[in-house]
Amino acid sequence: MQSPSDKRLLYVWLALSAITLAQLALGSRGEAASLTPNAAITSSAVVMALIKVRFIIREFMEVRHAPALLCRLTDLWIALTGVSLLGSYFIGRMI
């Protein structure tokens, strides 16, 4: 019962898990420096999370087969979330 779609889902799950492990490596970097803000780590963590989110929406939730409007709305939300998270992080640090 191993169909092409099953294989594709497996690869998606492997990719998602790999990104999560990359985030583990990212988060455990510089134990001593873990008490100082780090824009590079923050931006990478947020961007990696958003890539995962888009993977889940496109592949697991099958939005890649959905009408263009749903694709655009979900992408719009991802973009909005990215801009508000990184925007408030960088603007908040300046205040």
Q: Where on the chain is the footprint of another protein (CB under 8 A)?
A: 1, 3-6, 9-10, 12-13, 16-17, 20-21, 23-24, 26-28, 34-38, 41-42, 45-46, 48-50, 52-53, 56-57, 59-70, 73-74, 77, 80-81, 84-85, 88-89, 92-93, 95
Element (H, E) at 27: helix 4-27
3 state DSSP class of 33: helix
Q: Which two tokens stand for residue 9?
A: 């889902």
- The contacts of residue 74 (CB under 8 Å, 6+ apart) are 54, 57, 63
Return the residue matching tokens 């991802």.
78
DSSP label at residue 3: -
